Amino acid sequence: MIWEDLQAEIDALQRAGLKRSRRTLEMPCGPLARVDGRELVSFCSNDYLGLANDPALVEAACAGAQAWGVGSGASHLVSGHLAPHAALEEKLAAFTGFARALLFSTGYMANLAIVPALVGRRDAVFADRLNHASLIDAAQLSRADNQRYPHGDIVALERLLAGSRARRKLILTDAVFSMDGDLAPLPALLALAERFDAWLVVDDAHGFGVLGPQGRGSLAYFQLPTARRLIYMGTLGKAAGASGAFVAADATVVEWLEQRARTYVFTTAGSPLIACALAASVDLIADGESRRQRLWQLTAQLRDGLAGTRWRLLPSPTAIQPIVIGDNHEVLRVAGALYERGLWVPAIRPPTVPAGSARLRVSLSAAHSAEQVDRLLHALRELA
């Protein structure tokens, strides 16, 4: 019976240290969290600039609700495309330097839009092995030949591209890898795309708002021109502090997505009040140099503080600072011990990361204080 099968699988997850459980937060997203009445310092969120609960965003959302209501009422192509959506798309296109931008409800849906809309059975995708689940699913959904290359391995990718007879070729990569915090070699990837007549899809979920001048993202960080073969996906639920995503690209590519991408056409447009909040968020990002400076200071403080201890930090230059522990039960034990000390750091286990590489994923925010990072350092040194 299906119920017994499912229960047996759930029990197996429990035994393997792989069962997840949610904690319910009793206050808004921020460096402090309250769970079951207990106050904790949280190092879990992707709210890198501390915008999720910023007063200016809250105010823009309230004003947006007053002016535009709560719901959009329909999909973008029917009647759900409101003036705040249109204004936000223009703002995002200008900010990232592309001809056009198209809004999506989530980054997951944006990735599911791009790949099947652009490639099919006679085509091939070339994907970094550590790409986000949404890019992996997008590649499968497209039915294109799915070739995966070892993480960041330009030489292996070059070999795959050189051997491909596919009609269209799409290279897929996270710009900042979500569980490792390292950067994809975007200039080399774009050079390969140019050489082999391929497109390059860059998922900048963790770079948009954080990296590059004014937080314009990973392409700006690498000073890459907005080439026609680049398709840029930025999410709006991480550094931007709200929810949603956008694809920015050449006008023809965006027009095609608007016509044909199934996760664009067959879904209700996002709330206009979120679009209003996001317009304010883009301004805060552009003027957010001091927030980004603070984020880099805290990141350096954490890395310096753990140097020479038994904790193995991955070589990450971003606010995602994973400490690899390996064993699923051990990572849960360490995360539990930190939690007992009032410090909430997520234990990331397979299938989110490869088997045997379970880790604590410390993520920092400009809203953290140096004292909070010190508390984490102190506890980790004690547990070492």
Ligand X SMILES: *Cc1c(COP(=O)(O)O)cnc(C)c1O
Task: Work out which of 245, 248, 253, 302 binds ligand X, going by CB under 6 A.
Answer: 245
Report the candidate in 228, 222, 188, 186 with the shortest Cα–Cα distance to residue 203: 186
**Within positions 101 to 140, which residues make up the interface with ligand X, using CB under 6 A?**
106-108, 111, 132, 134
Q: Choose, by CB under 6 A, the member of 89, 180, 182, 203 that binds ligand X.
A: 203
Whole-angstrom distance, CA of residue 264 vs CA of residue 283: 26
169 is catalytic: no
Q: Point out which span in 8-16, 116-124, 198-206, 268-276 binds ligand X (CB under 6 A).
A: 198-206
- Closest contact distance (angstroms) between CB of 363 and ligand X is 11
CB of 4 to ligand X, least distance (A): 33
Q: Which one of the spans 68-76, 159-167, 202-210, 325-333 is the region binding ligand X (CB under 6 A)?
A: 202-210
Q: Does 205 bind ligand X (CB under 6 A)?
A: yes
Decide: is 178 part of the binding site for ligand X (CB under 6 A).
yes
> For ligand X, which is the closer residue by CB, 134 or 299?
134
The answer to whether 373 contacts ligand X (rule: CB under 6 A) is no
Active-site residue, selected from the candidate residues 238, 281, 357, 363: 238
- Residue 237 binding ligand X, by CB under 6 A: yes
Catalytic site includes residue 178: yes
52-76 in b/e burial notation, b at 16+ Cβ within 10 A?
A: bebeebeebbeebbeebeeebeeeb
**Least distance (Å) from ligand X to the CB of residue 204?**
8
Which of these ranges, 7-15, 34-42, 181-189, 203-211, lies near ligand X under the rule CB under 6 A?
A: 203-211
Report the site for ligand X in 327-356 (rule: CB under 6 A).
none
Residue number with CB closer to ligand X (175 or 298): 175
Closest separation between CB of residue 280 and ligand X, Å? Answer: 19
Question: Which of 178, 218, 316, 363 is flagged as catalytic?
Answer: 178
C-beta neighbour count of 163 within 10 angstroms: 8
Closest CA to 96 of 299, 322, 315, 250: 250
Contact flag: residue 173 with ligand X (CB under 6 A)? no
Which residue in 134, 206, 271, 357 is the catalytic one? Answer: 206
Give 96 or 235: the residue with its C-beta nearer to ligand X: 235
* CA end-to-end span of the chain: 46
Please indicate whether residue 206 is annotated as part of the active site. yes
Crossing angle (nearest 10°) for helices 186-195 and 154-162: 10
Residue from 128, 174, 180, 182 touching ligand X (CB under 6 A): that is 174
What span, in angstroms and rounded, lies between the C-alpha atoms of 219 and 212? 8
Work out whether the CA dihedral 222, 226, 229, 235 comes out positive or negative.
positive
CB count, 10 Å around CB of 341?
16
Residue 215 region by backbone torsions, left for phi larger than 0, else alpha for psi between -120 and 50, else beta: left
Q: Is 270 in the site for ligand X (CB under 6 A)?
A: no
Q: Which is nearer to ligand X, 192 or 320 (CB)?
A: 320
Which of 130, 192 has the CB closer to ligand X?
130
Considering the complex, state which of residue 182 and residue 380 has its C-beta at the smaller distance from ligand X.
Answer: 182
| Residue 72 engages ligand X in binding (rule: CB under 6 A) | no
- Using an 8 Å Cβ cutoff, are 21 and 262 in contact? no
Q: Minimum CB separation from ligand X for residue 176, in Å?
A: 7
For residue 312, the minimal CB distance to ligand X (Å) is 22
Q: How far is the CB of 65 from ligand X (least distance, A)?
A: 21
Catalytic residues: 178, 206, 238
Q: Which residues bind ligand X (CB under 6 A)?
A: 106-108, 111, 132, 134, 174, 178, 203, 205-206, 235, 237, 245
